[in-house]
Structure 1
Amino acid sequence: MTDSDAILDRLMSLHPKVIDLTLDRMHRLLAALGHPERAIPPVIHIAGTNGKGSTQAMIRAGLEAGGQRVHAYTSPHLARFHERIRLAGDLIPEADLAATLEECEAVNDGQPITFFEITTAAAFLAFSRVPADYTLLEVGLGGRLDATNVIDRPRLTVITPVSIDHTQYLGDTLEQIAAEKAGIIKRETPVIIAPQQEEALRVIENRASGLSAAIHAYGQQWMAAPDRDGMIYQDDIGVWDLPLPNLIGAHQIQNAGTALAALRQLGATDLQATAAVTQAEWPARMQRLTHGPLVDLAGAQAELWLDGGHNPAGGEALAATLAALPRRPTHLICGMLNTKDVTGYMRPLAPHAASLTAISIPGEQNTLSAAETRDFVTAAGLSARTAESPAQAIGQIVDTDPHARILICGSLYLAGRILRENG
């Protein structure tokens, strides 16, 4: 265990509720720290239900291709906490992370604060001490009351596609959820709006108009679409004729368009636009695993894939991706949290699956058991079996189909376990 691991374990105990949406505790701690959030480089603040991470990765790739230094904050992490904080392009060093966490812990002085809040404060503190040109800030949950929403004047806000998720915290209608996401929009700050359902778009645009925030919405001020063997982006300034995104899936074209619309507002060049779609890296989004113990277990004739999508919109995007791949029997290994709409996630995937093996997510308190996931999957119209572990599930599949395409899916937390287990 590293020093930062020990500190992170202690921070988990400072507030009994994992999620408790309010900004009061965050404002208190940031004031005690000397307001580091006011001293960080210009912020591009990103909210939405799906596509936040991919969009952020493409914006970062584009900015860095132009020689700019970029801080980035994202959550959750997959294999190591350090993934959440990038300082001028590089993952935060262990010594810096441990020192920054300890400083926040000492200043907080044992007062109630959630894990996400205090670690977000630590990220702001780290960002304030390292020079950079931009800070990419991904919302953790919602937007209006998210711990990241303490930036008074971001350079730009971005709303990726909004769909139903986290209803216990954000509301059970699309309009309510969109209102929470739109809470990051600030007065006279341009907002990039990804493709949205009509109900969500109306809420977001009303919020932006009320704050005199310039609107740059898909289908109005910009568009992106597949074109021959690549994609095209177009807005009032001009056209970018680009390769397809290197992140796999048709939905990545809309994520790329959103990133390009943001980059256009930041004065990006043609070279930066190309880099955004061809150089972005974002693990566990339809990621092909090519080496490691689990790949060895699957054997040379099988394919092993990993995806962290976990809500109905994520299931639809994944189903479209599978439909576009070369035909091959696809066997799913699925583990999900008990806060998710499992049937809604699985329903679009069912027609593309030759089989499904349900597992629990190792080490996760809120995991569904393998049997519970199996029962939800059955309700979605797909017969399923269970396994005790990802390795056992892979073994069961390749015993019957050595040429299988195996897709491990259902949760970013499961994806993180797989990446750690696979080395």
Structure 2
Amino acid sequence: MTEAPGSDAILGRMMTLHPKVIDLTLDRVWRLLAALDHPERGLPPVIHLAGTNGKGSTQAMIRAGLEASGDRVHAYTSPHLARFHERIRLAGELISEDALTALLDRTHAANGPDPITYFEITTAAALLAFAETPAEWTLLETGLGGRLDATNVVERPALTVITPVDLDHQQYLGETIEEIAGEKAGILKRGVPCVVAPQHEAALEVIEARAARLGVPLMVHGQHWHVTTERDHLVYQDERGLLDLPLPRLRGPHQIVNAGTAIASLRALGRNEAAAEAATRANWPARMQRLSRGPLVDLAGEAELWLDGGHNPAAGSVLAQTLGALPQRPTHLICGMLNTKDIVGYLRPLAGVAQGLHAVSIPGEANTVPAADTARAARAAGFAETTKAESVAQAIRAITARVPSARILICGSLYLAGHALRDNG
């Protein structure tokens, strides 16, 4: 008797259904959703998030707040770090292997041999799971852009959220902040409220113009809500009043903004009591995460080992701020990136806070930048000391041999972060 294929085998088949990894259109998604009897129409109330940076952290904080109120929450995010199951959270729990395998089988059968991208078909599978599992809320994070993203199929969400918009994925979304903001603002729906995080002025103008056309009530940072820190506390204020809260569990000055965006979203949903839990209970791996145990940590010895998946110039800037605010310690980066990214733009702000960089290629990724090219880009960005390594483990050994008490940050890509988490057990 032949054993039924598991989720990895089915996901592998799904990768072959369309020659392009990214091909932005909604036509294929609508066709498949119709074949599945339109699960997008039967979802628990949807909170839809788009933006360049901070989507995952903001979503995690909103989820933490809602779950602390006793609500069951579905959540969809991408990409995953270690296992695909991370993308689909059903009523608070990661989807099981058996449930995922059955779900993917049904979705693959409904699609048949028709062309569809991996992200599109797996998004349809997630929507099917959410529609069939009771919950109070559905959190949907866009994969790329917004207007033509496969998640943008819900006619009337309860709320939309736009996190900071910056330059990234220009080959798909446009070369300017204005063009990219237009794609992100494509998730706005007529009459549906939208919470807007801090934005470049050019991006905000685009978002506000589209909101005006659609009659969208906006809650904009700096106009309708404010967030800052005072004496190791997070201070949030809007027309409903002022909140004095603990600092977010997630590290970095950018997480203050993400926490404020999450709190504004919860208050827009009438969940005023969930603000503190949103900041203090959220957990989101590979966002300036300190690794505390595992084989890579053992290899690092007395060195600190950190992990971050940011990969564009704005992420590099906030990462540099975060590192600069930590207690002083020699800092060395282990960096691997994809060839779709602005490597010099990402690394330039980090050159001022790190003493050296070990470049690695990302294992198993066709679009990885060769380690030698990343090392050259690092020198162009201002790093005086760069070298290449065959692996993260080799880089850790090389760094700790010279600087036993270093602060080591593995960075540059969520895909590299995922490999590091798997290597670390």
CA distance in 1, matches of 2:97, 2:69: 28
The aligned counterpart of 2:118 is 115
The aligned counterpart of 1:401 is 403
The aligned counterpart of 1:154 is 157
Amino acid across the alignment from 1:130: T
Output one character per residue of 1:264-318: Cα deviation in whole Å (capped at 9) or x when no partner: 0111133x1110000000000000001111000000x110000000000000010
CA distance in 1, matches of 2:5, 2:399: 36
CA distance in 2, matches of 1:228, 1:189: 36
The aligned counterpart of 2:78 is 75
The aligned counterpart of 1:56 is 59
Amino acid across the alignment from 1:328: R
Amino acid across the alignment from 2:193: P
- Paired residue secondary structure (1:241): strand
CA distance in 1, matches of 2:127, 2:269: 22
Q: TM-score, normalised by structure 2?
A: 0.98
Amino acid across the alignment from 2:256: I
The aligned counterpart of 1:353 is 354
The aligned counterpart of 2:305 is 304
Question: Does 1:320 find its partner at 2:318?
Answer: no
Question: Does 1:47 find its partner at 2:46?
Answer: no
Matches within 5 A, 1:90-101: 90-101=93-104
Which one of the candidate residues 8, 23, 26 is aligned to 2:26? 23
The aligned counterpart of 1:369 is 370
Question: Does 1:411 find its partner at 2:423?
Answer: no
- Paired residue secondary structure (1:71): strand
Amino acid across the alignment from 2:235: I
Q: Structure 1 vs Structure 2: percent identity of aligned residues? A: 67
The aligned counterpart of 2:227 is 224
Output one character per residue of 1:117-151: Cα deviation in whole Å (capped at 9) or x when no partner: 00000000000111000000000000000000001
CA distance in 2, matches of 1:230, 1:138: 28
Amino acid across the alignment from 1:313: A
- Paired residue secondary structure (1:231): strand
Stretches of structure 1 that go unaligned for 5 or more consecutive residues are: none
Q: CA deviation at 1:209?
A: 1.0
- Paired residue secondary structure (1:16): coil
The aligned counterpart of 1:141 is 144
Stretches of structure 2 that go unaligned for 5 or more consecutive residues are: none
CA distance in 2, matches of 1:47, 1:2: 34
Q: CA deviation at 1:227?
A: 1.4
Amino acid across the alignment from 2:399: I
- Paired residue secondary structure (2:135): coil
CA distance in 2, matches of 1:83, 1:359: 25
Q: CA deviation at 1:82?
A: 0.2
How many residue pairs match? The answer is 421
Q: CA deviation at 1:328?
A: 0.4
Amino acid across the alignment from 1:379: A
The aligned counterpart of 1:251 is 254
- Paired residue secondary structure (1:200): helix
- Paired residue secondary structure (2:206): helix
CA distance in 2, matches of 1:227, 1:217: 21
Q: Which runs of 4+ in 1 moved over 2 A?
A: none
The aligned counterpart of 2:422 is 420
Q: CA RMSD in A?
A: 0.8
Q: TM-score, normalised by structure 1?
A: 0.99
CA distance in 1, matches of 2:261, 2:323: 23
Q: Which moved more, 1:225-234 or 1:311-320?
A: 225-234
Question: Does 1:6 find its partner at 2:9?
Answer: yes
Which one of the candidate residues 189, 193, 200 is aligned to 2:196? 193
Question: Does 1:292 find its partner at 2:287?
Answer: no
CA distance in 2, matches of 1:269, 1:23: 35
CA distance in 2, matches of 1:19, 1:91: 25
Q: CA deviation at 1:2?
A: 6.9
